[in-house]
Amino acid sequence: MEFASYLAGERWSDRPRCTHPLLAQLARLVNDGVDDEHRAQLVPLIPDVVGLNPPGVQAELRIVVRAALAALPVANQERQNALAYGLAMLDPLLDQLPPAEAAAYRGRINEEYAAVPAARRWGAERARRSQLDEKTLRDKSFPVLIQTSVRGLAEACVDDCQERMIALLRDCIAATRAASPSAAGPPDDAHRHSDVPTRLDPVRTQ
């Protein structure tokens, strides 16, 4: 993210104002979670995050839900519980997305829940006892969900955890750019990249 700040003409920082804070957090965590060989794949993505800071809860939801969905199938039980709780808490906010998009996200979440029923029950029960307003969710819970998701991917018992982290970052960049008012490209391209990501089946280590 320091190079993104440099390209944007900002002060050298890993938290550039030109990039959405959640996207910048995701990029930092992915960068820290991959080895040098995989880190080289992140270099071409640096220009893509410059100027990518759309306002509002919709952009935040697209990043956070994508991260949680990527990690939920492969994270350990403790992190699955935390992710299921976070997804349950943010569910009402999905109504702020276009109806078709909100329905697609809920469908994908339910699909992943089917594979982790214990985490779903734990998260739902915890959410019923919690009272967090939208500001608290966005300011505090969303960054925690990003961190939990990336760490869950980084420590997952699958052969392709680093590839999954990089794929997640690319997906979130594309979705954020497509939904940004300043994004280039025709509306059809924006709609395609803002679609809910497809499920990746785990390739587990022996």
Q: Does residue 8 or residue 160 have the better pLDDT?
A: 160
Judge contact between 66 and 171, C-beta under 8 A: yes
For residues 25 and 147, give the distance between their C-alpha atoms in angstroms, rounded to a whole number. 8
Mean pLDDT, all residues of the chain: 83
Cα distance between residue 70 and residue 38, in whole Å:
18
Q: Which pTM value belongs to this model?
A: 0.81
Q: Give the 3-state secondary structure of 184-205.
A: CCCHHHHHHHHCCCCCCCCCEC
Tens digit of each residue's pLDDT (9 = 90 or more) over 76-116? 999 999 999 999 999 999 999 999 999 999 999 999 999 99
pLDDT band at residue 170 under the 50/70/90 scheme: very high
CA atoms within 13 A on the CB side of 47: 1
Q: Which residue has the higher pLDDT, 129 or 51?
A: 129
In three-state secondary structure terms, 73 is: coil
Residue 200 confidence (pLDDT) above 60: no
Domain ranges in the chain? 2-194
